[in-house]
Amino acid sequence: MYLLLMGILALALKYLEIGPVAAWSWWVVLSPFALAVAWWAWADASGYTKQREIDKMAKRKQERIDKQRIAMGMLSAKKRK
């Protein structure tokens, strides 16, 4: 996401001819977009994206379980937080 934001910022600065970015080559300005595509391809191919989603769901599930145990008085004061 950061690469995409950097690319949009560089593209806007190049288009509006602001600062030193106006003198840069278009290859340099557009390279963050290529890097973002490469990152997304790697993240999807390696399972990184899927693993982060699984971890997020597991954390939400454990928080629900802990909340229910606290409500029933089954979780000790140490484990509450």
pLDDT one-digit tens code per residue, 9-64: 999 999 999 999 999 999 999 999 999 999 999 998 998 888 889 999 999 999 99
Distance CA 77, CA 66 (A): 12
> Do 27 and 4 have their domain in common?
yes
Residue from 7, 1, 9 nearest 27 by CA: 7
Range of the domain at 58: 48-81
Structure tokens belonging to residue 51: 């693993």
Q: Give residue-wise pLDDT tens across range 1-11.
A: 899 999 999 99
Phi, psi (rounded to 5 degrees) for 74: -90, -15
> Do 35 and 52 have their domain in common?
no
Residue 77 has pLDDT above 80, yes or no: no
Our count of domains for the chain comes to 2
> Do 5 and 38 have their domain in common?
yes
